[in-house]
Amino acid sequence: MDPAMHPLPPPPFAARQSGVRRGGNDRVMAEASLGAGHPLVGVLGRVEGVFEQMVVVAGVQAAGVLMFSGRLRLSLLIAAAVVQLALLSVLAALRLRRGELCLELIVAGRGSLPLACIGRVRGRLRDPHTREELAKSLDEVVELAALRRPRPGAPRPLCDVRVIRAVAPELSQIALLLRGAQPSVRGVALVAWLLTSAATPLYGASAEPLRQELGRARYLLTVRP
């Protein structure tokens, strides 16, 4: 087959423009609201860049199917698939970091910023199912720490059991508040941040910093906006 008969097709313009527009709008708005140096602006820019790379690689895959055959086509498709998997891994890590930064902004009282990523996180935090899952996670942390001898096959606690035992009553109270009627989104965001970020006092070696954060969560869960 003559490659000249099938010129390399450009990346899907509509899909690329749509994805870039969504991510770009959030990035531009974040930069205007938070400043160019804010970590969320950098993460949104990197997400946008990774998305663009994935679209380009998808275009290369499509071109390989049209232009080549046999081993050459297979080699090209395999190489493109490896690149796509690597990009997906990077994208997943960036999305986790984006979610963490959105939680921090909501806890800080900036959840009303007109950013799509913050809106999505706020929507999940308002979901009763999300609140119940967070409450169950706190219950499990307390139960695992209370075990003197872990059951065979039981997951190993990620937290310092001495720290958790010291604040177990506070953790149980937070779980009850999460199951209550319409807890504040800021409080729910703080609990989600404590559970999901490895840098929080929940995974530290001292009880006092965690006790302070739990006191703040208790206040935020009950305060009305």
Q: How many domains does the chain have?
A: 2
- Determine the number of helices (DSSP H) and then strands (DSSP E) in the chain: 9, 0
Task: Mention every residue, 6+ apart, whose C-beta is less than 8 A from residue 138.
Answer: 171, 172, 174, 175, 178, 191, 195
Distance, CA of 79 to CA of 125 (rounded, Å): 39
Domain C-terminal end among 92, 118, 144: 118
What is the 8-class DSSP label of residue 200?
S
Q: What is the pLDDT of residues 41-86, one digit of tens each?
A: 999 999 999 999 999 888 877 777 667 676 777 888 888 889 989 9
Residue ranges making up the domain that contains 151: 127-222
Per run of 10 residues, the mean pLDDT along the chain (length 225 residues) is 39 43 76 93 94 87 71 80 92 94 95 93 95 96 82 66 94 95 92 91 94 96 79
Q: Domain check: are 141 and 78 in the same one?
A: no
Task: Mention every residue, 6+ apart, whose C-beta is less than 8 A from residue 25.
Answer: 116
Q: Domain check: are 131 and 105 in the same one?
A: no
Q: Domain check: are 11 and 113 in the same one?
A: yes
* pLDDT score recorded for residue 89: 94
Domain C-terminal end among 69, 99, 118: 118
Residue type for position 85 = L
- Residue 147 three-state SS: coil
Distance, CA of 96 to CA of 41 (rounded, Å): 14
Determine contact, residues 43/26, Cβ cutoff 8 Å: no
Domain C-terminal end among 118, 139, 166: 118
